[in-house]
Amino acid sequence: MNVTASGRRVLVSGAARGLGRAVARAFASNGDRVAVHFGSREEEARTTLASLEGSGHTLVGGDLAEPAGAVAVVDTAAEALGGIDVLVNNAAVNIRHPLAETPYEEWVAVWQQHVAVNLLATAHLSHLAARRMIDQGGGGRIVNIGSRGAFRGEPDHPAYGATKAAVHALGQSLAVSLAPYGIAVASVAPGFFATERVAPRVAGPEGEAIRAQSPFGRVGSAEEIAAAVLWLASPAAEWSSGTILDLNGASHLRS
């Protein structure tokens, strides 16, 4: 099995900043080689790449809203790394569109963008990476970044909540279909955690209410989420395949 405790070939989508950057750093610190994917933020992605421990990492750009973009990203990453053992589906959009305030044309466009990036790109990257893992014959790991919003509802971001629920369901289907190939698939469902994207909300007037969502009285950190992703991609986590791991500081308890 290629999926050893370190030295794996890892593709992280959306790793220019935020959680993707923290995940890339966690794998690199573990001794893995990472393809740092970016969509539009090449400069920030170069900063991520330069910050990684170890050597043999690579940068790969590409728009994941188009199916052809996913092909280019996986091909480029696999060529640079010599294969792919782990895929982390982190790239996503989260655009505010409360129904009562959003004109229909905008509503349609926002839904299409969420479906294209959050759901379809996750499905397509999973297909492309898993087919390589199958051909390599050494098993593999896919970890999807889902969201607490899939369970709790996202009144101001309904397409986000719906597509993250679909990502969880996709991960469960693939966990079953890919297990015979030694590929484990899991998702994490984080609550609020601090990244550049959400920093203005956490620092702004709603910051106190956001921190109060958790009885710990704080938001999570990207490093806390990345640590769980690293573990779910480890050999020890094979039996967790199909799981959706809550990472929300007890802010939302599912039965």
Ligand X SMILES: NC(=O)c1ccc[n+]([C@@H]2O[C@H](COP(=O)([O-])OP(=O)(O)OC[C@H]3O[C@@H](n4cnc5c(N)ncnc54)[C@H](OP(=O)(O)O)[C@@H]3O)[C@@H](O)[C@H]2O)c1
Nearest CA to 231 out of 157, 167, 141 is that of 141
Tokens of 149: 């919003």
- Catalytic, 13? Answer no
195 binds ligand X (CB under 6 A): yes
Q: Which of 87, 122, 174, 193 binds ligand X (CB under 6 A)?
A: 193
Helix (H) or strand (E) holding 80: helix 67-81
Q: What is the DSSP letter of 147?
A: -
Residue owning tokens 């998702």: 187
Residue 207 identity (one-letter amino acid):
G
190 binds ligand X (CB under 6 A): yes
Interface with ligand X by CB under 6 A: which range of 3-11, 13-21, 76-84, 226-234? Answer: 13-21
- Catalytic, 147? Answer yes
- Catalytic, 160? Answer yes
17 binds ligand X (CB under 6 A): yes
165 binds ligand X (CB under 6 A): no
Q: Which one, 16 or 77, has the nearer CB to ligand X?
A: 16
Q: Which of 197, 199, 208, 235 binds ligand X (CB under 6 A)?
A: 197
Q: Which of 8, 25, 33, 39 binds ligand X (CB under 6 A)?
A: 39
State the nearest-atom distance from the C-beta of 137 to ligand X, in Å: 29
Q: Which of 7, 53, 65, 238 binds ligand X (CB under 6 A)?
A: 65
Q: Which one, 20 or 249, has the nearer CB to ligand X?
A: 20
Beta-carbon contacts of 3 under 8 Å, excluding residues fewer than 6 positions away, are 85, 86, 138, 139, 140, 141, 182, 233, 235
Q: Which of 3, 11, 12, 19 binds ligand X (CB under 6 A)?
A: 19
Q: Which of residues 106-145 bind ligand X (CB under 6 A)?
A: 117, 145
Three-state SS annotation for 25-80: HHHHHCCCEEEEEECCCHHHHHHHHHHCCCCCCEEEECCCCCHHHHHHHHHHHHHH
Please pick, among 13, 126, 147, 241, the residue that the annotation labels catalytic: 147
Q: Which one, 136 or 214, has the nearer CB to ligand X?
A: 214
Any bridge partners for residue 189, and if so which? 246
Residue 72 identity (one-letter amino acid):
A
State the nearest-atom distance from the C-beta of 42 to ligand X, in Å: 7
Tokens of 18: 């935020």
Using alpha carbons, list the distances in angstroms from residue 69 to 47, 57, 74, 120.
Answer: 22, 20, 9, 11
171 binds ligand X (CB under 6 A): no
What SS3 class is residue 113? helix
- Binding footprint of ligand X on the chain (CB under 6 A): 14, 16-20, 38-41, 63-65, 90-94, 117, 145, 147, 190, 192-193, 195-198
